[in-house]
């Protein structure tokens, strides 16, 4: 192409990084280009929060107009800022590889409390202008106070440095791309499977005129087809809800291999009515992306809240109970088994200590073992959170409800190292069985389960959703109660599912992760 391509971009540090990144990529393709800075409505109005700005696309509209007018030839956008309905005459020619889509919670070191969720002190003042971020943060931490935060990335960080906030929430991709030194702050990168990012977060969109077919062809080497397919699912969900970038909606699509080696699309959604209401969390799987978004939205819109009985002590399900009740559910939580400590008969220092449950953490540490020098592994986030209550952090956290897969990943990490497994009496030892040998494994019994003396609320056993958290809870429930065909059954883990299947009980869903959020998603996604 003989003509020099004019790239349109906002003037912020991050926008210019993005534009220069594309500029360098074009030069590799022997395409000459230069950058033209265009101010948008979002750049000009700095005294209003995003939800008070009119319309959609307040970071993109002026750039798109310049593209339609022929002032520029190529627009580079943060894809999440683009409205889902493209202006007539324009198209997305290519999308970049996806930068880590996680949110980053930057905490002033004076506001750190590692015993709290996200290591943020009680009643902290947090800055963000995103309705999506506000609703999700309040769901996890209803004690925090929120205040609007505007400005480009360095400006926002400077406001934290000046102690105008205790913490701020920003996209990890921005600070990663700008290579900003954050050593003066405590940084918590939030798992995108837990704190759901905006549709297409971390992706660049290259927009051109539909008529520029030659430029379209030239840009195809920059297009990531896999990323395009995944974010198309996310953005279609947003589109079907008629939402702009300020709709409190998180949608995150990944494509992962299952146990059979098949590639599966996995989508997590968090949708709230507004910034101050609890989001509704969902999880869906499909083999194909075609029509997937439509099925997701239909399922979300058709779901009717009901009653839930979970076989856990209520104090262990604070987030689950709070979130479901805020979404209109009635929740009963009652363990059908009691837990008794078992004094350790032996203790040997090891390289690692792995916990398969919160009870294992509690009854191990209450015996005061010397674990100096050991690293810790946890089967899931809830178990890792329990570790924090004893002043420790997990160096390995399983991210799957498939215990065998978690065991294989942990075994590969440990290698020839030694591992102590505090566990329940008669544990199934699923994690240990994934180790190739026994010489580096040491089991120690720290608790046992017995049938609870107190029966659950009679209304609980008739709940619409029955959530079983262990095989022993299954046995205790079925001793005195029947399950009807209208009740939806959720099993935590393969062992619990097997215990139900053995009794010819249909399991309708299994959580994608061993934590409260996984259970919430399983309940809402049946």
Q: Has residue 314 got a pLDDT over 90?
A: no
Q: Has residue 206 got a pLDDT over 70?
A: yes
Hey, what are 446's tokens? 């720290």
Q: What share of the chain is helix, strand, coil (3-state, %, to 5)?
A: 35, 25, 40
Torsions phi, psi for 84 (to 5 deg): -75, -20
Q: How many CB atoms lie within 10 A of CB 237?
A: 27
Note the pLDDT of residue 245. Answer: 55
Cα separation, 418 vs 311, in Å, equals 34
Residue-wise DSSP of 169-191: EEEHHHHHHHT---TTEEEEEEP
Cα separation, 329 vs 310, in Å, equals 13
Note the pLDDT of residue 148. Answer: 94
E strand spans, 79-147: 90-95, 103-108, 125-127, 145-147
Note the pLDDT of residue 372. Answer: 94
Give the Å distances, CA to CA, from 355 to 368, 395, 429.
Answer: 16, 12, 11
Q: Has residue 51 got a pLDDT over 80?
A: no
5-98+203-224 is a CATH 3.90.320.10 domain: no
Domains 103-190 and 338-451 belong to one CATH topology: no
**Mean pLDDT to the nearest integer, 125-151:** 94
Nearest Cα neighbor of 312 from 334, 331, 329, 332 is 334
Q: Parallel, antiparallel, or unpaired for β 263-271 and 280-286?
A: antiparallel
**Mean pLDDT to the nearest integer, 228-256:** 90
Chain centroid to CA 379: how far? 17
What topology is assigned to 103-190 in CATH? D-Maltodextrin-Binding Protein; domain 2 (3.40.190)
Q: Has residue 315 got a pLDDT over 70?
A: no
Interval 350-391: pLDDT, tens? 999 999 999 999 999 999 999 999 999 999 988 998 999 899
Is 282:299 a contact under the CB 8 Å cutoff? yes
Which residue bears the tokens 């003396």?
A: 453
Query: What mean pLDDT, rounded, does the chain reach?
Result: 91
Note the pLDDT of residue 244. Answer: 60
**Mean pLDDT to the nearest integer, 127-152:** 94
Q: Which CATH architecture has domain 338-451?
A: 3-Layer(aba) Sandwich (3.40)
**Mean pLDDT to the nearest integer, 165-170:** 98
- 328 conformational bin, left if phi > 0, alpha if psi -120 to 50, beta if neither: left
Is 252:192 a contact under the CB 8 Å cutoff? yes
User: Which own/partner contact pairs does 381-387 have at CB distance under 8 Å and 24+ positions apart?
Assistant: 381/191, 381/194, 381/513, 381/514, 381/515, 381/517, 382/316, 382/358, 382/514, 382/515, 382/516, 383/355, 383/356, 383/357, 383/358, 383/514, 385/117, 386/355, 386/358, 386/361, 386/362, 387/355, 387/361
Cα separation, 459 vs 268, in Å, equals 31
Note the pLDDT of residue 42. Answer: 61
Hey, what are 78's tokens? 């943060």
Is 334:466 a contact under the CB 8 Å cutoff? no
Q: Has residue 454 got a pLDDT over 90?
A: no
DSSP H helices in 311-402: 318-326, 358-365, 381-388
Q: Has residue 48 got a pLDDT over 50?
A: no
Interval 54-72: pLDDT, tens? 335 557 889 999 999 999 9
Cα separation, 477 vs 171, in Å, equals 45
Instruction: Mention every residue, 6+ apart, whose C-beta is less than 8 A from residue 271.
Output: 241, 248, 249, 250, 279, 280, 282, 300
What strand order describes the sheet that includes 396-397?
337-341, 441-451, 419-424, 352-355, 375-378, 396-397
Hey, what are 356's tokens? 């398969």
Residues of the chain with pLDDT > 90, as a percent, come to 76
The catalytic site residues sit at: 81
Range in 40-44, 136-140, 203-207, 293-297 the model is least confident about: 40-44
Cα separation, 136 vs 139, in Å, equals 5
Interval 399-419: pLDDT, tens? 877 888 899 999 999 999 999
Q: Structural domain boundaries of the chain?
A: 5-98+203-224, 103-190, 307-336+452-524, 338-451
Element housing 340 (H / E) = strand 337-341
Interval 150-165: pLDDT, tens? 888 999 999 999 999 9
Note the pLDDT of residue 53. Answer: 40
Interval 69-94: pLDDT, tens? 999 999 999 999 898 888 999 999 99
What topology is assigned to 307-336+452-524 in CATH? Rossmann fold (3.40.50)
Handedness of CA 269, 319, 473, 365 (dihedral sign): positive
Note the pLDDT of residue 316. Answer: 60
Note the pLDDT of residue 52. Answer: 42
């Amino acid at each position: 192409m003989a003509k020099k391509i004019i790239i349109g971009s906002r003037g912020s540090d991050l926008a210019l990084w993005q534009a220069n990144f594309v500029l360098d990529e074009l030069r590799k393709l022997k395409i000459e280009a230069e950058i033209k800075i265009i101010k948008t409505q979002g750049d000009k109005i700095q005294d209003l929060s995003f939800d008070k700005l009119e319309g959609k696309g307040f970071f993109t509209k002026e750039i798109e107009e310049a593209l339609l007018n022929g002032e520029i030839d190529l627009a580079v956008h943060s894809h999440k800022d683009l409205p889902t309905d493209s202006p007539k005459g324009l198209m997305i020619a290519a999308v970049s590889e996806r930068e880590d889509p996680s949110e980053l919670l930057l905490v002033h070191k004076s506001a750190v409390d590692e015993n709290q969720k996200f290591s943020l002190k009680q009643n902290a003042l947090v800055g963000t202008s995103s309705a999506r971020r506000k609703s999700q943060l309040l769901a996890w931490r209803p004690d925090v106070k929120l205040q609007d935060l505007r400005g480009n990335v360095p400006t926002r960080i400077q406001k934290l440095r000046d102690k105008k906030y205790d913490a701020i929430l920003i996209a990890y991709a921005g600070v990663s791309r700008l290579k900003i030194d954050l050593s003066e702050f405590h940084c918590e990168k939030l798992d995108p499977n837990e704190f759901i990012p905006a549709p297409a977060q971390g992706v660049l969109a290259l927009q051109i005129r539909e008529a520029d077919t030659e430029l379209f062809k030239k840009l195809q080497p920059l297009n990531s087809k896999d990323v395009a397919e995944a974010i198309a699912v996310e953005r279609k969900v947003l589109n079907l809800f008629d939402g702009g970038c300020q709709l409190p909606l998180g949608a995150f699509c990944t494509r992962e291999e299952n146990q059979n080696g098949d590639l599966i699309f996995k989508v997590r959604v968090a949708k709230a009515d507004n910034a101050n209401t609890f989001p509704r969390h969902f999880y869906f799987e499909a083999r194909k992306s075609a029509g997937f978004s439509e099925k997701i939205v239909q399922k979300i819109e058709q779901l009717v809240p009901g009653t839930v009985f979970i076989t856990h002590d209520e104090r262990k399900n604070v987030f689950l109970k709070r979130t479901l009740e805020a979404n209109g559910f009635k929740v009963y939580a009652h363990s059908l088994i009691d837990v008794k400590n078992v004094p350790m008969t032996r203790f040997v220092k090891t390289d690692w200590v792995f916990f398969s449950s919160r009870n294992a953490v509690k009854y191990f540490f209450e015996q005061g073992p010397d674990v100096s020098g050991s690293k810790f592994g946890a089967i899931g986030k809830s178990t890792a959170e329990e570790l924090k209550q004893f002043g420790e952090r997990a160096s390995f956290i399983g991210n799957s409800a498939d215990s065998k897969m978690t065991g294989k990943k942990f075994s590969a990490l440990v290698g020839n190292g030694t591992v102590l497994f505090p566990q329940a009496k008669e544990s199934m030892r699923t994690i240990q069985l994934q180790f190739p040998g026994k010489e580096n494994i040491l089991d120690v019994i720290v608790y046992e389960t017995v049938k609870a003396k107190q029966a659950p609320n009679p209304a609980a056993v008739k709940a619409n959703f029955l959530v079983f958290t262990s095989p022993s809870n299954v046995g205790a429930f079925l001793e005195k109660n029947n399950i009807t065909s209208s009740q939806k059954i959720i099993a935590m883990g393969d062992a619990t599912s097997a215990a139900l299947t053995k009794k010819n009980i249909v399991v309708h869903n299994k959580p994608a992760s061993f934590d409260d959020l996984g259970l919430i998603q399983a309940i809402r996604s049946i």
